[in-house]
């Protein structure tokens, strides 16, 4: 609620455009937009917009930004309660970035050639994905739910996640800890503050510790997401990517 109230306040102070259509979308504007995007957005959304920490922007349909004006507002004010920040740039610069973002939707960053039915069989079978991920209510919780992964991530990112998972794994840190009583535990950090830490173990159980009770606490950048580059053939990876791409939430 507070975030929305602040957002409302911010919108009063900022001269929000009223034109529904982007007035700065010439090729020169797109080029300037590309430069600002590279500096401000690519770190989260990927240089080609196919996702990372931020959502997939390389899609002709952006759920939160159906038209130019909503896209402008999302870039200017961010998305409350998510990692999408506000951007204090000039109105014109925001339009230029918006113009560039729209070009990403027209790029076919990584065509999907696999067979999604075969991909589903692999994901639920020998891939063992449901051991760690929920799809439509079923599965483990060690990794993020994949129910709407096709909306959030582009095929390029999905392929990288299967073959080179450490590349964009920010957020899900592996934790190794030992209590003063000698109990050792490894898992994923779910939450942490000055005094306590919450860890989910490989059996999906959630544990909470006071840091004062720990003898050792070690965080690791390496992801628990296995690399499938050896275990699956290139064709099978394509199939799994095709399956993931069409997971678009509960409809
Ligand atoms: C710190 C990481 C981060 C940065 C930097 C960032 N974003 Fe985002 N962005 C996100 C996240 C996370 C979301 C998803 C929010 C949500 O849950 O809907 C998002 C959502 C969006 C959306 C909404 C997509 C939709 O579904 O309609 C757009 C558009 C967008 N970002 C554009 C940008 C642009 C342009 C920039 C640079 C000016 C930028 N973002 C910078 C993380 C980031
Ligand atoms: C041993 C547990 C484990 C298994 C098995 C596993 N994953 Fe993961 N996966 C994770 C964890 C933990 C993360 C979050 C950290 C990261 O992004 O690397 C993750 C992240 C992902 C992401 C990125 C999600 C996002 O929101 O960006 C995708 C996609 C994914 N996994 C797909 C799969 C698929 C498909 C399979 C099966 C072929 C699979 N995973 C098997 C643990 C696992």
Residues 40 and 124 in one domain: no
* 26 and 67 within one domain: yes
> Both 75 and 144 in a single domain?
no
- The CATH number linked to 121 is 1.10.760.10
> Relative to the CA of 142, which ligand 2 atom is closest?
12
| 18 and 83 fall within a common domain | yes
Count other C-beta atoms under 10 Å from residue 209's C-beta: 18
Pocket test for ligand 1, best of 40, 54, 144, 170 (most atoms within 8 A of CB): 54
What are phi and psi for residue 43, nearest 5 degrees? -55, -35
Number of domains in the chain: 3
Question: What is the chain's pLDDT, residue by residue, as a tens digit (251 residues)?
Answer: 556 655 555 555 678 888 888 999 998 999 999 999 999 998 888 888 877 777 888 877 788 888 899 999 999 999 988 889 999 999 999 999 999 998 887 665 567 889 999 999 999 999 999 999 999 888 988 888 999 888 777 787 888 889 988 776 555 678 899 999 999 998 888 778 888 898 888 777 889 999 999 999 998 877 888 999 999 999 999 999 999 989 987 75
- Residue 240: both structure tokens together: 């799994």
CA 18 to chain centre: 30
Residue 184 lies in a domain: yes
Q: Do 213 and 231 reside in the same domain of the chain?
A: no
Domain that holds residue 30: 2-104
Reported pTM: 0.66
Q: Pick from 7, 45, 96 the residue to mutate for probing ligand 1's pocket: most ligand atoms within 8 Å of its CB.
A: 45
Three-state DSSP state, 197: strand
Write out residues with Cβ below 6 Å of ligand 1: 37, 40-41, 43-45, 53-55, 57, 62-65, 71, 74-75, 79, 82-85, 87, 97, 101
- Spatial CA neighbour of 16 closest among 75, 62, 65: 75
């Amino acid at each position: 609620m507070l975030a929305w109230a602040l957002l409302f306040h911010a919108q009063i102070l900022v001269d929000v455009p009223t034109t529904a259509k982007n007035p700065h979308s010439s090729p020169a504007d797109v080029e300037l937009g590309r430069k600002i995007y590279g500096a401000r957005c690519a770190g989260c959304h990927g240089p080609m917009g196919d996702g990372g920490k931020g959502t997939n922007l390389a899609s002709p349909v952006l759920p939160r930004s159906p038209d130019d004006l909503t896209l402008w507002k999302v870039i200017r004010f961010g998305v409350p309660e998510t990692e999408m920040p506000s951007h204090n740039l000039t109105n014109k610069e925001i339009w230029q970035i918006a113009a560039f973002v729209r070009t990403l939707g027209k790029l076919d960053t990584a065509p999907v050639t696999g067979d999604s039915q075969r991909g589903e069989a692999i994901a639920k079978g020998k891939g063992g994905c449901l051991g760690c991920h929920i799809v439509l209510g079923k599965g483990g919780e060690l990794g993020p739910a994949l129910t709407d992964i096709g909306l959030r991530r582009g095929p390029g990112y999905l392929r990288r996640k299967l073959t080179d998972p450490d590349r964009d794994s920010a957020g899900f840190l592996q934790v190794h800890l030992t209590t003063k009583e000698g109990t050792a535990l490894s898992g994923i950090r779910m939450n942490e503050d000055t005094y306590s830490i919450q860890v989910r173990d490989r059996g999906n159980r959630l544990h909470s510790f006071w840091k004062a009770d720990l003898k050792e606490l070690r965080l690791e950048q390496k992801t628990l997401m296995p690399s499938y580059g050896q275990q699956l053939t290139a064709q099978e990876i394509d199939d799994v990517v095709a399956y993931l791409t069409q997971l678009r939430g509960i409809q």
